[in-house]
Amino acid sequence: MIGLELVVVLGVVIVVCGILARRTRVADPILLLVAGIVLGFVPALRQVHLPPELMLLVFLPVLLYWEAITISLREIRATLRGIVLTSTLLVVVTAAAVATAAHALGLPWGPAWVLGAAVAPTDATAVGVLARALPRRTVTVLRAESLVNDGTALVLYGVAVGVTVGEETLGAGHVTWLFVLAYGGGIAVGLLVAWLAVLARRRIDDPLLGNVVVLLIPFTAFLLAELIEASGVLAVVVCGLVMSQVGPRIGRAATRQQTVAFWSVSTYLINASLFVLVGLEAQSAVRNLVSEDLVTAIVGVAVVCVVILVVRFAFLVLSAYTIRLVDRRPSQRGRRVTNRARAVSTVAGFRGAVSLAAALAVPTHLSSGAPFPDRDLIVFITCGVVATTLVVQGLLLAPTIRWARLPDDDGLARERRLADETAAQEALDALPDVAASLGTDPSVVDRLRGEYEEHLTLLRARDGEGDDPDPAVLLDDEYTELRLALLARKRETVVRLRDQRAIDDTVLRQVQARLDLEEIRLSRGDPAPE
């Protein structure tokens, strides 16, 4: 089954699993992956596969760019040292440990290193979806690690595949050059594409054309980096980080509204589809296993999963205590976390579609024409590791968080209040000068001043809200409820006018769009003055 039938099946599965996830409180990716495994029993779906090129060249740039543009650069700066260590050195150590374990289980060194490189990186998509309950700093570190470690793993993977196939020579200088080219070239391309994107967005006022430019950004960065054999992953991530800082200063509000809506839906659909396809591939991997018996392969999956967890936890602990010995600055003490928190970060080290795409991209033959040794076992173990980390670790994450007793993170709420109050106060202070420059009528100025003063009073009342709500807050809640009820009545009216053919459908859509924006603002609790 291909084409339209597959699209319909994926859509139905995504909707059903989404509904079940909200009712059962089980994370969407877990249900989607299980659904993919179940779908693998359908004969018509057994020929459906996740093409590695589709993941690495189409899905990956989109997902990485959205993750990069929505991450906190401030938190990255604060935890940069740990992110660099986990996204580079930990990947190498994990790949080496997995390769050693796989070799002990009977794989030749070349395929063992291919397997190690494939399962070494954590998955940004899975981390972003499954680790939302974690404190902001922990989530940022995990997401940032997942954004960068793909580049390290893919360099290791390329070397391992090339040496095994017979197209690469393994030497310290050669490997060092590959890493320099991957990182240096990727960063340079990312900065270049971000600069070009800023120039383009500043010159395009049309929201639709502006969003076409936004859509082209990740693919352009990835393509240019791959053309010079640099890391497309790093190029997209660097470009996304730059645009996250520059983007709020350029472009129009309508463009940003469309961008957020489009990317939110697109990334959700891509993520959900990937988890279903991973489940289908896991089914296929079991059917295509021929070089080893199923029990031996399952033992391999279990061993690799244990190695990944042990290495990750040990690395997090040892690197933290090493940093403590080297860096004794007082500021460093505020960044310390407990070993329980490191256990949470260990459980949250999910593997995902990038690992599976790497395994599926392993060549079928060597340069001599002989079959690639144990390719089916590499694919099976990788599928097993991805499925195990998503399902088992995904289900264990919530109880692990409760066991770790992580402190509550209310930083975002406090900073949101600070931003709202400061912006309102500075707008109020600037009102006389702005009104004078525009020649605004004094009555209009007085009206707007009253609205902003009321808005500021309400913000401060909500900021100090305790067990007994402030009367101003209660009145504002009633005001919001009344506004929403009247908006519903206005919507009924314009629909009735359309049904009576007093207005055109185009007019209905235009009026309804304004009503929808107002309803969304009120529903989010944004009491900004009109």
DSSP calls for 182-243: IIIIHHHHHHHHHHHHHHHHHH---HHHHHHHHHHHHHHHHHHHHHTTS-HHHHHHHHHHHH
Residues 334 and 290 in one domain: yes
188 confidence band (pLDDT: 50, 70, 90): very high
Contact 340, 403 (CB under 8 A): yes
* Tens-digit pLDDT profile for residues 475-506: 878 888 888 899 999 999 999 999 998 898 88
* Tens-digit pLDDT profile for residues 310-342: 999 999 999 888 887 877 766 666 667 788 889
Q: Considering its fold, how many domains does the chain have in total? A: 3
pLDDT value, residue 289? 84
* Tens-digit pLDDT profile for residues 339-398: 888 999 999 999 988 888 888 888 888 888 888 898 999 999 999 999 999 999 988 988
Mean pLDDT comparison of 284-293, 308-317, 519-528, highest-scoring range: 308-317
pLDDT value, residue 528? 46
Q: Look at residue 365 and give its three-state secondary structure.
A: strand
Looking at the domain assignment, is residue 472 inside a domain? no
**Which of 176-185, 215-224, 250-259, 483-492 shows the lowest mean pLDDT across its residues?**
250-259
pLDDT value, residue 287? 83
Residues 329 and 183 in one domain: yes
- Residue that finishes a domain, picked among 409, 435, 451: 409
Q: Look at residue 118 and give its three-state secondary structure.
A: helix
* Tens-digit pLDDT profile for residues 87-122: 999 999 999 999 999 999 989 999 999 999 999 999
Looking at the domain assignment, is residue 521 inside a domain? yes
* Tens-digit pLDDT profile for residues 3-46: 778 888 889 999 999 999 888 888 888 899 899 888 888 887 87
**Which of 79-88, 162-171, 510-519 shows the lowest mean pLDDT across its residues?**
162-171
Looking at the domain assignment, is residue 402 inside a domain? yes
Contact 350, 394 (CB under 8 A): yes
Is residue 530 classed exposed, middle or buried when 0-12, 13-18 and 19+ CB atoms within 10 A define those classes? exposed
Looking at the domain assignment, is residue 333 inside a domain? yes
**Cα atoms found within 13 Å of the Cα of residue 298, Cβ hemisphere only:** 4
> 56 versus 266: which is more confidently predicted?
266
Average pLDDT on 147-163 reads: 87
Q: What share of the chain has pLDDT > 70, as a percent? A: 93
Residues 505 and 530 in one domain: yes
Q: Give the integer Cα–Cα distance in Å for 331 and 259.
A: 38
* CB proximity list for 120: less than 8 A, separation 6 or greater: 91, 92, 94, 95, 98, 149, 152, 153, 156
pLDDT value, residue 381? 94
Q: Look at residue 88 and give its three-state secondary structure.
A: helix
* Tens-digit pLDDT profile for residues 400-431: 988 988 777 666 777 778 888 888 888 888 88
Beta bridge partners of 371: 365
Q: Give the integer Cα–Cα distance in Å for 235 and 54.
A: 18
Residues 428 and 495 in one domain: no
Q: What share of the chain has pLDDT > 90, as a percent? A: 26
Residues 392 and 455 in one domain: no
1 confidence band (pLDDT: 50, 70, 90): very low
Residues 188 and 159 in one domain: yes
Residues 403 and 424 in one domain: no
Q: For residue 119, count other CB atoms closer than 10 A to its CB.
A: 29
Distances (CA, A) of 442 to 52, 194, 425: 65, 44, 20
CA quadruple 501, 505, 511, 517: dihedral sign: positive
- Residue that finishes a domain, picked among 377, 394, 409: 409
Nearest to 201 by CA among 234, 235, 262, 242: 242
- Residue 521 in tokens: 């603002």
Looking at the domain assignment, is residue 471 inside a domain? no
Contact 343, 400 (CB under 8 A): yes
Is residue 283 scored above 70 in pLDDT?
A: yes
Contact 191, 238 (CB under 8 A): yes
Residues 228 and 240 in one domain: yes
242 confidence band (pLDDT: 50, 70, 90): very high
468 confidence band (pLDDT: 50, 70, 90): low
Looking at the domain assignment, is residue 44 inside a domain? yes
Contact 146, 348 (CB under 8 A): no
Q: Which amino acid is at 163?
A: V
Contact 201, 250 (CB under 8 A): yes
Distances (CA, A) of 425 to 373, 428, 451, 453: 68, 5, 12, 8
Distances (CA, A) of 371 to 150, 164, 165, 292, 365: 27, 11, 10, 15, 4
Ramachandran angles phi, psi of 371, nearest 5°: -65, 145
Is residue 278 scored above 90 in pLDDT?
A: no
Nearest to 241 by CA among 212, 221, 226: 221
DSSP calls for 281-338: HHHHHHHT--SS-HHHHHHHHHHHHHHHHHHHHHHHHHHHHHHHHH---HHHHTT---
Average pLDDT on 73-92 reads: 87
pLDDT value, residue 332? 65
Q: Give the integer Cα–Cα distance in Å for 43 and 134.
A: 40
pLDDT value, residue 76? 84
pLDDT value, residue 445? 87
Residues 327 and 251 in one domain: yes
Instruction: Output the domain CATH number for residue 384.
Output: 1.20.1530.20
- Residue that finishes a domain, picked among 409, 429, 455: 409
Q: Give the integer Cα–Cα distance in Å for 8 and 2.
A: 10
Residues 236 and 165 in one domain: yes
Q: Give the integer Cα–Cα distance in Å for 511 and 493.
A: 11
Q: Give the integer Cα–Cα distance in Å for 437 and 450.
A: 20
Residues 397 and 275 in one domain: yes
Looking at the domain assignment, is residue 469 inside a domain? no
pLDDT value, residue 492? 92
Beta bridge partners of 365: 371
Question: What is the domain range of residue 496?
Answer: 477-530
Residues 486 and 375 in one domain: no
Looking at the domain assignment, is residue 339 inside a domain? yes
What is the pLDDT of the chain when averaged over all its residues? 85
